[in-house]
């Protein structure tokens, strides 16, 4: 898996496969002129009713540092850069910030953090390390 992102928790991409997603990029590289951005994962899910794919990009964060809010600020800035690049290069791909369930329960359920996510329009994906499964998609 992509080094330095905390995605060892999604060992073998099992959480995505269990939810019906196929990993298409690890990492998903976005090139804009001289700029190169690397989103942790790109994935596709076939929607049977239409036979068309649904595409996502996922940035995985573990939030294991000393300051949750310092890491959240960095993640939001990174998310904004990726979101902007995807809007230009792949507007059909939806970006998600992925966090482990224990981090979600400890920090992301607070009203203040939920408000930050809403104001910044950040899509959230929560995964269980123990179950190796995605447990929540927001929105």
DSSP string, 118-137: HHTT-EEEEEETTTTEEEEE
Instruction: Quick: pLDDT tens for 57-98.
Output: 999 999 999 999 999 999 999 999 999 999 999 999 999 999
Which residue bears the tokens 């499964």? 133
What pLDDT sits at residue 48? 64
Say if CB 63 and CB 107 are below 8 A apart. Answer: yes
Residue 113 Rama label (left phi>0; alpha psi -120 to 50; beta): alpha
The yes-or-no verdict on residue 32 having pLDDT over 90 is yes
CA distance 67 to 7: 19
Across 25-42, average pLDDT = 93
DSSP letter at 10 equals: G
The yes-or-no verdict on residue 5 having pLDDT over 80 is no
Return the SS3 of 87. Answer: helix
Among 138, 131, 129, 135, CA closest to 6: 129
Q: Tell me, which fold does domain 27-138 have in CATH? A: Trna Endonuclease; Chain: A, domain 1 (3.40.1350)
Average pLDDT, the chain: 87
Say if CB 27 and CB 38 are below 8 A apart. Answer: yes
What pLDDT sits at residue 2? 33
Which residue bears the tokens 């939920």? 114
- Categorize the per-residue pLDDT at 8 as very low, low, confident or very high, splitting at 50, 70 and 90: very low
Domains of the chain, residue spans:
27-138
Say if CB 80 and CB 114 are below 8 A apart. Answer: no
């Amino acid at each position: 898996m992509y080094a330095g992102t905390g995605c060892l928790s999604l060992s073998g991409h099992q959480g995505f496969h269990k939810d019906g997603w196929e990993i298409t990029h690890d990492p998903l590289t976005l090139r804009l002129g001289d700029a190169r951005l690397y989103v942790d994962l790109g994935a596709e899910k076939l929607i049977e009713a239409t036979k068309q794919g649904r595409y996502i990009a996922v940035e995985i964060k573990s939030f294991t540092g000393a300051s949750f809010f310092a890491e959240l600020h960095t993640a939001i800035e990174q998310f904004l850069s990726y979101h902007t690049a995807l809007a230009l290069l792949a507007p059909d791909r939806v970006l998600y910030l992925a966090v482990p369930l224990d981090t979600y329960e400890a920090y992301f359920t607070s009203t203040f953090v939920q408000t930050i996510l809403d104001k910044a329009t950040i899509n959230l994906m929560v995964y269980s390390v123990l179950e190796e499964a995605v447990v929540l998609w927001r929105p």
